[in-house]
A and B are shown apart, each in its own frame.
Chain A
Amino acid sequence: MMSLLPALGQLSLIIALLVSVTQAISSLYGSWRQRPHLLRLSRPLAYSQLFFVGLSFGFLMLCLLNDDFTVKYVFENSSTTLPWYYKLCAAWGGHEGSILLWVFILSLWTAAVALFSQQLALVSVSRVLGILGILATGFLLYILMTSSPFMQIILPPSFHSQDLNPLLQDPGLISHPPILYMGYVGFSVAYAFAISALMSGRLDNDWIRWIRPWTLIAWSFLTCGIVLGSWWSYRELGWGGWWFWDPVENASFMPWLMGTALIHSLSVAEKRNTFKAWTILLAISAFSLSLMGTFLVRSGILVSIHSFAIDPSRGTFILIFLAVVILSSLALYGYRSTTLQSVGRFSLWSRETLLLVNNIILLSMLFAVLLGTLYPLLSQTFGWGKVSIGAPYFNTMMAPMGVLALLLMGIAPHLNWKHEAFKKDITKHLVILIIALSLGTLLMLLYTRTFTPGVTTGVGLALWVIMSTLHLVIKTKRFTTKIVGMILAHLGVAVCAIGIVISKHYTTEKNVYMHVGDTTTLASNRFHFGPVGFYKGPNYAAETFTITRFDKQQASDQLHPELRLYRADNELLKKTAVDVDAFRDLYVAVGRPVKNLGWPVHLSNQPFIRWIWLGGLLMALGGLIGLFDKRTRTQKR
């Protein structure tokens, strides 16, 4: 009976492919030739695609729960001793499963578009669903041709299944990939609306109004996903960094930057009837960057900690799909967008100008990240030798652009559309800026007694954003959800910036070898290395350490980092322990003991690091609140 499950899973995938092919053909043809009987099919097709992909995903989970090791994917990513919740999450812990999750989420979004677009004309909905159907077709073909999770193997008489990568056996795995993918894949909706607008040749305000909520929700998910990923690698990788400029992290950061630019340009396009062709280009690009990110992770052409097993045929398939989707979209854009020209005039000191500057800053950041990420490929192709571009490059590029962005964020929301009422307020803004910069400097001198220009600028400007955003709160007479969302998101950026700047400049760390009974100090805390205990987890054996922190002679708390040996693949993993506080993290990791020297202990004191993630969550919350804008729901087409 057991081996029936993978067969059923594969069958559901094949049916899902047939459904998505039908969706792509019938909906697009139906909306082109205005065939009502075909158009009426597109919504039911969207729901059935979700049903069959969901079914197949469910079968994969059942295979994992049942320890059906005749399925290669289960053999490679699970073991009998793995706790049940990690067995479920193993459904996206390996390459094949994670692509299935991708398609599942695409189907969720497709069904959501079908469900929440009742007020939109059936022709337009069908066109959007048809475009999403093309995407689903591509990915389902990819799964069936190169990476089906239901592939069966013949087991040797005695065998040990491999196991889920120990790094992935963490609560982070439960939430991070699905939420990140919700964001990544969510941009497909904005993309489908953009392509649909290009196809129909009509780009009116309705289009903008429809694309806005979908962009906002995808962006919020992406923000949350990036925050979770950063927090996960901070706890899991054992050296206390929260961002590594790893190609895969960059692959999620680039669509985020593009999505942020898109949200801002949408607001101009909506209010001022300008920037329309530009907005379309951004919508296409945001999703294209998501696709490119998927390619970078799956093909293994860049070396990354996140890469899955490498198989060139997989890379080739995605590359062809990538080329077809992106190039045809951009060709359509080049061909059609002149017909979408919209003229609007605005003066220098208007909100339009500053939003344009915002777009330029965000895109410059994006190009810097793109260049840094692809540089190893460039140098390899043109024989400049193997080079790896690291954090120093990215930090030098990002810092000045970050400063400009913060500077801009303090002013832009105060400006009016179109005209120059700004001049009479300029002194007020300057006063706030000076107060903020001096406050930042004062606080810094008070706490550290040393002057660091980077901190004055960073914290000062973040305070300026907070103060001028609060100024906006006082000035605003009618609060729409759009304004509240914007305020929260901007405060989030400021909070995040404070976290980045302070943790970057004031993190102290120490690497020492310790024996039981040893003591060391860091940042006015004394740490005592207590007795070592052992315990057996479900699929690992662990040494637990007791590190007692003394705050001025008083034992204030105990930290329990672990060193785990996972049985299946004999892999050693450091489980870090963190003492969390709103203003600082004390972070401890213990490594594999060295003869005669003791255990290597990594201690660090990271001030304000929580603020980075708190800021990110505020941004995501702002995006979600902006979603409930009255205009997006009540206005009929």
Chain B
Amino acid sequence: MKKVLLFIPFLGVLIVLSLFYMNLKQNPYLIPSVMINKKVPSLDAPLLLAPTKHFEASTLKGHASLVNVFASWCYSCLDEHKLLMTIAKSHQVNLYGINYKDTPKAAKALLTKYGNPYKQIISDSTGKIGINLGVYGTPETFLIDKKGIIRDKIIGPITKTTWRHRLLPEIKRYQ
């Protein structure tokens, strides 16, 4: 009996390590590979600035687009905002926004204060669209080609470097 007790630390650690193992398998950073090269899921939800209208799937056809998932409660999104404004002004790509798990009021306040870089904004207050897209956190940015296929995904804020050296060349390729 005493012998068995001496193996308790062993068993305890075994349990903790299995817990680690299971979570390693569930690593959220593996998700992008699942979504990439797939068709965009349905983004059918009301528009933030015109709540009576819904976002239409045909909007994304015919040109490369960036879809940026943001929220007013997300601090890194604010960091990214200035660069998004620059990107919008450069007219090199169509930028759409998904306002994720946010209240329309807070989101609109943010846009009035810092400017609106998006052509259209999908209001995803419940986070349902986010689940379809496999959004893990905000900000996240999807690159979608002219046929509506997801080609790349950036987790976290876009930096000037990722914009210049990763996204821009891809946009030119998929235009």
Contacts and interface: CB of A to CB of B under 8 A. Distances in A.
A327 B160 contact: no
Given A378-B19, A569-B159, A327 B24 contact: no
A334 B29 CA distance: 38
Interface stretch (B9-17, B54-62, B65-73, B92-100): B9-17
Contacts of A453: none
Contacts of A377: 19-20, 23
A572 B17 contact: no
Nearest to B13: A326
B44 interface: no
Contacts of A396: none
A253 B111 CA distance: 42
Contact of A334 (B6, B22, B26, B161): B6
Interface centre among B22, B23, B29, B159 (most CB of A within 10 A): B23
A312 B2 contact: no
B9 A572 contact: no
Interface in A315-333: 315-316, 319, 322-323, 326-327, 330-331, 333
B6 A338 contact: yes
B24 A312 contact: yes
B27 A301 contact: yes
Contact of A323 (B17, B27, B159, B161): B17
A162 B161 contact: yes
Interface residues of B, number: 27
A518 B113 CA distance: 23
Nearest to B169: A156
B30 A572 contact: no
B9 A570 contact: no
A299 interface: yes
B32 to A, nearest CB: 12
Contact of A333 (B9, B17, B27, B83): B9
B170 to A, nearest CB: 14
Contacts of A571: 79
Interface in B10-49: 10, 13-14, 16-17, 19-24, 26-27, 29-30
A569 B79 CA distance: 11
A594 B113 contact: yes
Interface string A343-361: 0000000000000000000
Nearest to A288: B13
Contact of B13 (A156, A327, A335, A572): A327
A18 interface: no
A378 B17 CA distance: 12
A163 to B, nearest CB: 10
Contacts of B19: 374, 377-378, 381
B89 interface: no
B27 A310 contact: yes
B111 to A, nearest CB: 13
Interface string A285-298: 10010001001000
By size class, the interface of chain A is 35 or more
Contacts of A310: 27, 29
B161 A160 contact: yes
A319 B9 contact: no
Main secondary structure of the interface of A (DSSP, over half): helix
B140 to A, nearest CB: 15
A487 to B, nearest CB: 33
A312 B17 contact: no
A281 B79 CA distance: 48
Contact of A330 (B2, B10, B22, B160): B10
Contact of B79 (A300, A301, A374, A572): A572
B20 A301 contact: yes
B116 to A, nearest CB: 15
A160 B24 CA distance: 33
A595 interface: yes
A380 interface: yes
A319 B21 contact: yes
A281 B9 contact: yes
Contact of B17 (A160, A327, A569, A594): A327
A223 interface: no
Interface string A409-436: 0000000000000000000000000000
B3 A319 contact: no
Contacts of B13: 288, 326-327, 330
Contacts of B29: 300, 310, 312
B49 to A, nearest CB: 21
A331 B17 contact: no
Interface string A366-383: 000000001001101100
Contacts of A162: 161
Contacts of A316: 24
A337 interface: yes
A292 B13 CA distance: 10
Given A300-B29, A301-B24, A312-B29, A570 B159 contact: yes
Contacts of B161: 160, 162, 569
B119 interface: no
A530 B26 CA distance: 52
Nearest to B24: A315
Contacts of B105: none
Contacts of B3: 334, 338
Nearest to A302: B23
Given A315-B24, A334-B6, A381-B22, 11 more contacts: A162-B161, A299-B24, A319-B24, A330-B9, A333-B6, A333-B10, A334-B9, A374-B19, A378-B19, A380-B26, A381-B26
14 contacts: A156-B165, A160-B160, A299-B24, A300-B27, A312-B29, A319-B24, A323-B17, A326-B13, A335-B6, A337-B6, A338-B3, A374-B19, A381-B26, A594-B113
